Structure 1
Amino acid sequence: MSDLHIWTGLLLGWILYAMFLTGTVAYFRDEMSQWMRPELAAQAQVPDAAEVVQRLADTMSVLAPDSPQWSFTPPGARNNVASASWANPRIPGRRGFASAVFDPATGQKVEARDTAGGDFFYRFHFQFHYMPVPWGRWLAGLCAMFMLVAIVSGVITHKKIFVDFFTFRWGKGQRSWLDAHNALSVFGLPFHLMITYSGLVTLMLLYMPWGSDAAFRTPAERQTLTAQMNANVPAGKSSGEKAALAPIADMMRQAQARWGRDNIGRVTVTHPGDAAARVVVVRGDFERVSTSPQYLLFDGVKGSLLQARDRVGAAAETRGVVYALHLGRFADPWVRWLYFLVSLAGTAMVGTGLVLWTVKRRARLPDPERPHFGFRLVERLNIAGIAGLSIAMVVFLWGNRLLPAGLPQRGEWEIHLFFAAWAVALAHALLRPAKQAWLEQLWLAAALLVLLPVLNALSTERGLFASLAAGDWVFAGFDLTLLALGGLHAALAVRAARHRPRGRAARRGAEPDATPARPRSTRA
């Protein structure tokens, strides 16, 4: 169990660390997306979704009148823009869909910088980038399975794990790293198990399709399975007969009376302008710990209610609850911050485990000044995977403020900057002495984080002090969080500067450690 815990935690640990950290910040992806579009004013209150969607439908009737499908997402408490996508087979990529964000007050396209926003980190944490989506999700599933095995084997291996949670010995080298790893592991153990297992469940039909393939053989049966998990109503065929679309606002108000004014998740219109038009209004996830589909299906021409889906089967509902626990979209601000902090502790758990591997083995090296290739590889990947990832993520945010607004494919260039910075961090870690590389990258990450609010104040009218004065807590909270994370990286840099590795040669002349050695079988 000890060897299993060590190697499942190490072999894919750097990818797991990246998945954990990007998934952690994704809990505030809507707020991050707002910060990355500073041209859009903060909304004083959530606008009426029925009126917003009606404006979007009117705009789409001019923008894409021949599209066979429109899909609208109204603004919410955490999102100050409305978004729309529409089918257009002539557009390459993205499965023939185009998308844009719109001003809720006017229904017109917003004039804001092109950016992936917080959605980049959300999608990266389970499907990565620069590779086909199924490959990325398969890789994420493999990493999640390694993580699940590492958690279970870690609990079995650490027989005194709950006792050790209340013990921390500062400045004891390997012992301190082990105590930190134990404390971080126990602090969020139920959350770590839940988030890892639920991550696998969300894509279970991709990883293990054979059960559903055997149970649902015909297209109609598989359509029934899909309907239990998603609010995807078959569009049917167009009639070819022109007909005006009924007012969508009236249909929306029926849904609002059922679920609440601000709890509309998505509206889909199929075959708009045709006599066979259908409108699907989907319930949102607000204050509902389940993602199981609940929707109303309307006749798009007559405006009459055709079907109401209020519940699904027990298995589908269980899956919906597990999925909702993973996403955390139901959470109010306090619960969302709790998600963030415990997930950040999980990120630190993975990071301390990676560092512990090198700290523990350095003491056993015959010559710590000339370690073998495997040790040097792990050590340098730790630097780039931990400190380098922080640099890459904050460079992504710097790019949002510094790239020219009219740059073609500007959102993609923000992502290119992220990976370019990460690659430079890896090259730096390979070329510099290990301790110097740690210090330089941690200090650089701290400086970039602390100076980013300054750049925001210089490049926009929504700096920290202006946001505090206006009560704009999205921008103010984001800047304050950046300053706190910058302070954390600075503290880690100071701690790394004071660290003195204890190799075998150094220990011969040193006084023996009073702490009794523990059997290897009780430690990872």
Structure 2
Amino acid sequence: MSPEPAPRGLRQTMSDLHLWAGLLVGWVLYAMFLTGSVSYFKEEISQWMRPEVPQSSERPDPALVAQRVVDTLQTLAPNSPQWGVTLPSERDNTASAFWRTGGTGGRRGFENAHFDPATGLKVAGRETLGGDFFYRFHFQFHYLPALWGRWIAGVCAMAMLVAIVSGVITHKKIFVDFFTFRWGKGQRSWLDAHNALSVLGLPFHAMITYTGLVTLMALYMPFGEQAAFRSPAERQALSRELNAFIQPGRPSGQAVALAPVQDMVRQAQARWGDAPVRGVVVTLNGDAAARVAVTRGEAGRGSVSPQYLLFDGSTGALLEAREQVGPAAETRGVMVALHVGRFSDPLTRWLYFIVSLAGTAMVGTGLVMWTVKRRGRLARPDRPHIGFWLVERLNIATLAGLSIAMTAYLWGNRLLPLELPDRAQWEVHLFFAAWALSLLHAALRPGRRAWVEQLGLATALLAALPLWNLFATHRPLWRSVAEGDWVFIGIELMLWVFAALHAMLAIRCARPLGPSPTQRSTDRAAHTARTSRVQEAS
């Protein structure tokens, strides 16, 4: 009788778990990581995508800006039960606002717009979602109901957490491997890169994955909330602990003009000192039951827990000062702050960006390593089985194709006619059209050629975009340098950095492949046999 196989150990079991947890959701995780990485500069991307809006080095008075935008909303959406105004900051040169549509009953929705801080009027620049598209896409995707997208993101984040823990258990020499990189060694090189990128940001990767789940914990695990807070009043109290999104109350029916909002903002400024005022929320404008909440910004504090002053909208009297929350809500606020990084200064934001890109590369190298490891085992590498073919094509369309799609989105911002109806949505449509075409191209072309062609196209699109700005906008790079406009300088230089990275990868993929492990073994056996024959003949 043949001996029974030895039982699989913990590390071997964890290796399989790490492999499949990473592979099955790896393509979605890569897209979430990459779009999440660039979202740390979403405000700067939005500025770049609105070149008509002038950049000012002087910060306008928040109280005056709030009053100007509210005055505009009085004519733009006078019957809306709720307005929300976000004031300009050091990273955002416009004010933005949303307003609820549909009244207090029936079908509800929201509209939003950007406003010039100097005049309070709607920005005359091009319609675009700016960097907010990447931010929203990275946790709820697009074309799907937001609830579905967030559930998909949650499932993938759980798989990522499993992959991180099982990866640490699998690689017992992970910290030694961090200092080992063998260039040009095929599978070994991909494994070295994967290990190094994993260890480089291991605490960050674990933190960002876990805190991403915490941000939507009420969606994924609502049972405790439903059991503990049964009445509407209790749930409203919970909402006040978690955010400053003041819900409209019941209208009184008595028409009363809204008190000056600028006075309320100045009270908040006097109370908070140097802390920035983030925005204003107005409910039931024009009614005696109107309420105004002035919210505190998140810059410089390590929590997103809501801090706000609540005023009577008809008299301007201070009704409530909410400047602290309970321990559980504060813990959640810290977790969310760690994930979104809004507290960070420029240096910390760059560190977030770089380590998050390392996480993106970690996922990408893991996906590529799956195909590299198995290519040498194929009986016919030129005609692989359907599973290998599918993974390789999805790798190409995700790793190279997503770069093309994201750059196409930026190109759409510059090329689409300014008067095009639903222009912002057409920029998004262009993103997905380019991504779909990259998948079709990967399916129709040989694998290696598809890699080279898509990486080459991404290189060309990235490198040419700053050059196109010389002619398409009145803010070319040389003018940005002369005026010290670091937003435009930074984004266009980063486009060239990414172009160089894609060019390097394209050149690497274009080089001839070395012999597979099977072929090397065959060659060594043939060499040994020839050597033996020569020795016998001599």
Q: Same fold (TM over 0.5)?
A: yes
Q: CA RMSD in A?
A: 1.7
Q: Which residue of 1 aligns with 2:420?
A: 407
String of CA shifts for 1:363-421, please: whole Å, max 9, x gaps. Answer: 22222222111011101110001000000000000000000000000000000000000
Q: Which residue of 2 aligns with 1:153?
A: 166
- 2:279 matches 1:266: yes
Shift of 1:73: 0.7
Q: Which residue of 1 aligns with 2:301?
A: 288
Select which of 384, 387, 390 maps to 1:371.
384
Determine if contact 2:405/2:435 at 8 Å carries over to the other structure.
yes
Q: Which residue of 2 aligns with 1:240?
A: 253
Q: Distance in 1 between matches of 2:517 and 2:354?
A: 37
- 2:360 matches 1:362: no
Determine if contact 1:165/1:183 at 8 Å carries over to the other structure.
yes
Determine if contact 1:48/1:262 at 8 Å carries over to the other structure.
no
Q: Is the deviation greater in 198-207 or in 82-91?
A: 82-91
Spell out the pairing of 1:112-261 with structure 2 (5 A cutoff): 112-260=125-273
Q: Distance in 2 between matches of 1:207 and 1:484?
A: 38
Q: Which residue of 2 aligns with 1:109?
A: 122
Q: Which residue of 1 aligns with 2:344?
A: 331
- 2:53 matches 1:40: yes
Q: Is the deviation greater in 252-261 or in 323-332?
A: 252-261
- 2:94 matches 1:81: yes
Determine if contact 2:404/2:434 at 8 Å carries over to the other structure.
yes
Q: Which residue of 1 aligns with 2:400?
A: 387
Task: Read off the aligned partner of 1:267 and give its amino acid letter.
Answer: V
Select which of 451, 461, 465 maps to 1:452.
465
Determine if contact 1:438/1:493 at 8 Å carries over to the other structure.
yes
CA change 1:22–1:16 in 2 (3 A) is same
Q: Which residue of 2 aligns with 1:14?
A: 27
- 2:474 matches 1:461: yes
SS at match of 1:356: helix
Q: Distance in 2 between matches of 1:122 and 1:94?
A: 26
Spell out the pairing of 1:84-95 with structure 2 (5 A cutoff): 84-89=97-102, 95=108
Shift of 1:258: 2.4
Q: Which residue of 1 aligns with 2:6?
A: none
SS at match of 2:295: strand
Q: Distance in 1 between matches of 2:267 and 2:419?
A: 42
Q: Which residue of 1 aligns with 2:42?
A: 29
Task: Read off the aligned partner of 2:454 and give its amino acid letter.
Answer: Q
Shift of 1:299: 1.1
Shift of 1:510: 4.2
- 2:68 matches 1:55: yes
Determine if contact 1:380/1:429 at 8 Å carries over to the other structure.
yes
Select which of 77, 85, 89 maps to 1:64.
77
The runs of 5 or more residues in structure 2 that have no matched partner are: 1-13, 526-538
Shift of 1:443: 0.7
Q: Is the deviation greater in 237-246 or in 186-195?
A: 237-246
Determine if contact 2:247/2:283 at 8 Å carries over to the other structure.
no
Shift of 1:501: 4.9
Q: Distance in 1 between matches of 2:88 and 2:524?
A: 64
- How many residues are aligned here? 512
SS at match of 1:12: helix
Determine if contact 2:79/2:103 at 8 Å carries over to the other structure.
no
CA change 1:94–1:472 in 2 (3 A) is farther
Task: Read off the aligned partner of 2:304 and give its amino acid letter.
Answer: T
- 2:124 matches 1:99: no
String of CA shifts for 1:352-371, please: whole Å, max 9, x gaps. Answer: 00000000111222222221
Task: Read off the aligned partner of 2:482 and give its amino acid letter.
Answer: A
String of CA shifts for 1:208-233, please: whole Å, max 9, x gaps. Answer: 11111111122222222211111133
Q: Which residue of 2 aligns with 1:346?
A: 359
Determine which structure has more spread, i.e. the larger CA radius of gyration: 2
Task: Read off the aligned partner of 1:207 and give its amino acid letter.
Answer: Y
Q: Distance in 2 between matches of 1:19 and 1:244?
A: 46
CA change 1:94–1:407 in 2 (3 A) is farther
- 2:319 matches 1:310: no
Determine if contact 2:84/2:281 at 8 Å carries over to the other structure.
yes
Q: Distance in 1 between matches of 2:416 and 2:457?
A: 20
Q: Distance in 2 between matches of 1:280 and 1:116?
A: 26
The runs of 5 or more residues in structure 1 that have no matched partner are: 513-524
Q: Distance in 1 between matches of 2:103 and 2:422?
A: 19
Shift of 1:100: 1.2
SS at match of 2:280: strand
Determine if contact 1:49/1:261 at 8 Å carries over to the other structure.
no
Q: Is the deviation greater in 212-221 or in 335-344?
A: 212-221
CA change 1:321–1:122 in 2 (3 A) is same
Q: Distance in 2 between matches of 1:257 and 1:183?
A: 49
Task: Read off the aligned partner of 1:166 and give its amino acid letter.
Answer: F
Q: Distance in 2 between matches of 1:451 and 1:155?
A: 41
Q: Distance in 2 between matches of 1:178 and 1:511?
A: 24
* TM norm structure 1: 0.95
Q: Which residue of 2 aligns with 1:516?
A: none
Determine if contact 1:114/1:405 at 8 Å carries over to the other structure.
yes
SS at match of 1:24: helix
SS at match of 2:117: coil
Q: Is the deviation greater in 112-121 or in 251-260?
A: 251-260
Q: Distance in 2 between matches of 1:445 and 1:241?
A: 60
- 2:503 matches 1:490: yes
Q: Distance in 2 between matches of 1:277 and 1:288?
A: 30
Determine if contact 2:377/2:518 at 8 Å carries over to the other structure.
no
Q: Distance in 2 between matches of 1:510 and 1:388?
A: 37
SS at match of 1:307: strand
Q: Which residue of 1 aligns with 2:528?
A: none
CA change 1:6–1:498 in 2 (3 A) is same
